[in-house]
Amino acid sequence: MGKQRVLSGVQPTGNYHLGNYLGAIRNWVEGQSEYENYLFVADLHAITVPHDPTMLASDTYTLAALYLACGLDLNHSTIFVQSHVSAHSELTWLLNCITPLNWLEDMIQFKEKAVKQGENVSAGLLDYPVLMSSDILLYQADKVPVGEDQKQHLELTRDIAARLNHLFGKPDQPVLKLPDPLIRKEGARVMSLADGTRKMSKSDPSDLSRINLLDTPEQIQYKIKRCKTDPIRGLTFDDPERPECNNLLTLYMLLSGKSKEAVTAECQDMGWGQFKPLLTETTINALKPIQEKYQAIMDDRSYLESVLRDGREKAQAIANQTLAQVKAALGYSMPL
């Protein structure tokens, strides 16, 4: 039996931070040899809210370079850009026409983002989950690593696939495969440095709330120095009264590679004055190899372009095949 196929993507909207790395990219890297991975830069999703055209291309290359710098191996993973494979847009149209409007209106993330956008809600924002369904279904993915915030979108993807299969497939020959979530044992949820109850986020207006993968050692030191803590001595995991403490210990655990038991024992008698320099040094050391590799890749633009060209070709081969099957099932025909 061949390997199962995993598909995932991140939007190229800047400020790639420790939450993106520890919560997503590092998990892909760790599991990559078990699966056949398709990992892309979700640049079509990036324009569902107002965007800056001059930033889009540079954020796209930065993210692709970070994928490689974080250790994605081209022997196991195909890296590509969503907009380079036109089948994503085309399948989205076809799926739009079989997706009931109220399924989209019920999406939690749409409602939250729509409130934030005020007057500025585009049809694309409502359609975001259909585009995401196309991303997944085009590759007939077996597994999609999802965090809590994307779970509902994966369920919608299954519902859309089941509906298309029901309406247009034969019972023994489904057109689209229903994907399953890939749930990791230790789901790392990295929280804001300013508030241990909120997720670390790209869109938080304060840069002090997050550590970006490309922050300098000085920035990292400053941010950890300034981050929120509590007045209690002795550091413990999992105390609901101490969300910041839990978050900072978790960061230390993940970045140092030590076990939870080891970190518990090491830090139980520490005060913040002792812990913060330790976390600072550990973070700087963990990010250093990624930053060096990132710089080397960015200095070799032709290499990065060749990776994305190869990725586009591999992705297109699969995506176009699925698209042709869907079009045939829907009744389209075209002379060769």
Query: Footprint of ligand TRP on this chain (CB under 6 A)?
Result: 7-11, 42, 45, 132, 135-136, 144, 150
Q: Rounded distance, CA 249 to CA 282, Å?
A: 12
Between 187 and 234, CB nearer to ligand TRP: 187
Between 70 and 136, CB nearer to ligand TRP: 136
CB of 194 to ligand TRP, least distance (A): 22
Name the nearest CA neighbour of 78 among 238, 313, 327.
Answer: 313
Between 132 and 304, CB nearer to ligand TRP: 132
CB of 18 to ligand TRP, least distance (A): 15
Q: What is the phi/psi pair of residue 206, to 5°? A: -95, 120
Burial 267-293 (b: 16+ CB within 10 A, else e): beeeebeebbeebbbbbbebbeebbeb
Between 104 and 278, CB nearer to ligand TRP: 104
Between 42 and 95, CB nearer to ligand TRP: 42
138 close to 323: Cβ distance less than 8 angstroms? yes
254 close to 188: Cβ distance less than 8 angstroms? yes
- Taking the C-alpha atoms of 303, 62, 122 and 203 in order, what is their torsion angle to the nearest 10 degrees? 170
Written as six digits, the tokens of 36 are 């056949």
How far lies 105's CA from each of 158, 163, 164, in Å? 17, 18, 19
Own/partner contacts of 227-234, CB < 8 Å, gap of 24 or more, are 227/193, 227/194, 227/276, 228/193, 228/194, 228/195, 228/196, 229/272, 233/269, 233/271, 234/268, 234/269, 234/270, 234/271
Residues forming the active site: 113, 199, 202
CB of 199 to ligand TRP, least distance (A): 12
CB of 214 to ligand TRP, least distance (A): 19
CB of 63 to ligand TRP, least distance (A): 11
Written as six digits, the tokens of 180 are 């399953």
Between 42 and 279, CB nearer to ligand TRP: 42
CB of 153 to ligand TRP, least distance (A): 6
Q: Rounded distance, CA 170 to CA 3, Å?
A: 26
